[in-house]
Amino acid sequence: MSYNAVLEADRAVTQKTEILISDVEVFGMLRHILSFRDNEIVRHTKRTKKYVKILVQKMLNMEEYKAYLRHINYESIAEVMTIHDIGKIGICDDILFKPGRLTRTEFDEVKKHVMVGLSILDSILAGRINNSAVIQNCYDIIGCHHEWWDGTGYPNGLKGTEIPLSARIAAIADVYDALISERSYKEACSHEEAVQIIRYGSGSHFDPDIINCFLDIEHHFRLISNN
C-alpha cells in the first residue's frame, strides 16, 4: 500500500470515529422518540421542566450553589426534564397504565425505565462525540432521578451527594408532579398534600437543602400546576 493510500485510510478511520453530534440533535432525537408515547407522559415532562426552571433560579441566588450550577450548565437541567422519562417507552402499557396498585414484579418492571433510558441515550451517541455538560446532565438526570438521599432509591442505591445535583433537583419536580396528577391507579393530591409529603421526605427521599429552596417557592409550583 502506498504512503498516500495509508494516509487516506487513516483519515477515513478518523472521520468515522470522530463524528460530532450537537446537543440540539440529541434532544431532537429523544423528543421525537418520546412523542410516540402517550400524551400524559409528554405533558408531565413539560411541567417538570417548568418546576425545575424556577427551582434552579432560586438556587442561583444562594452562594453554595451558584458556581457549581453554572459549571454544570444550569439552563440545560430544565431542558433535560423534557426527556427524563424517555425510558418509559420500553415499559408495556398493561403495567404503565394499570388501574390499581402494582405488584412487586410489575414495579420492578417499571423501575427498568431508568436503564432503558440510558440505553437509548447510549444508542444515539454511539460512534459520535459529545462531551458537553448538557449531555452529562442527560445521563445524570435520566439515570439518577429515582435515587434517594438516604440511599434507598434505584437503580444504584446512591446516597447523599453521590447523587448528581441535577438529579436531586429533578427528583423534587418529578415527585411533585406525580403527586398532583391523576393517574390510572390513583387520584390527584392537592397542592397542600403534595407539599406536605415532599416536606416529610426531606433527609430521606430528598436533599434537605434543596427542600428548603422548594418550600420558599412552592406557591410557584401551584401556579404552574394549574396552567
Domain ranges of the chain: 19-225
Q: Which pLDDT score, from 0 to 100, does residue 115 have?
A: 97
Q: Residue 128, exposed/middle/buried by CB under 10 A (0-12, 13-18, 19+)? A: middle
Q: Taking a C-beta distance cutoff of 8 angstroms, is the pair 138, 130 a contact? A: no
Q: Residue 14 — very low, low, confident or very high, per pLDDT cuts 50/70/90? A: very low
- Check whether the bond before 155 is cis (ω within 30° of 0): yes
pLDDT exceeds cutoff 80 at 5: no
Instruction: Identify which of 120, 112, 93 has the alpha carbon closest to the alpha carbon of residue 29.
Output: 120
- Return d(Cα 121, Cα 138) in angstroms, integer: 8
Q: Average pLDDT for residues 8-35, to the nearest whole number?
A: 71
Q: Which pLDDT score, from 0 to 100, does residue 93 have?
A: 87
Q: Average pLDDT for residues 91-104, to the nearest whole number?
A: 89
84: phi then psi, degrees, rounded to nearest 5: -65, -25
Please give the model's pTM, rounded to 2 decimal places: 0.88
pLDDT tens-place string over residues 32-81: 888 887 678 888 999 999 999 999 999 999 888 988 898 889 999 999 99
Alpha helices in 18-128 (DSSP H): 23-34, 39-59, 63-71, 74-80, 93-96, 104-111, 113-125
pLDDT exceeds cutoff 80 at 12: no
Indicate the class that CATH gives domain 19-225. Answer: mainly alpha
- How big, in percent rounded to 5, are the helix, strand and coil portions of the chain? 70, 5, 30
20: phi then psi, degrees, rounded to nearest 5: -90, 145
Tell me if residue 65 falls in helix, strand or coil: helix
pLDDT tens-place string over residues 110-151: 999 999 999 999 999 987 888 889 999 999 999 999 999 999
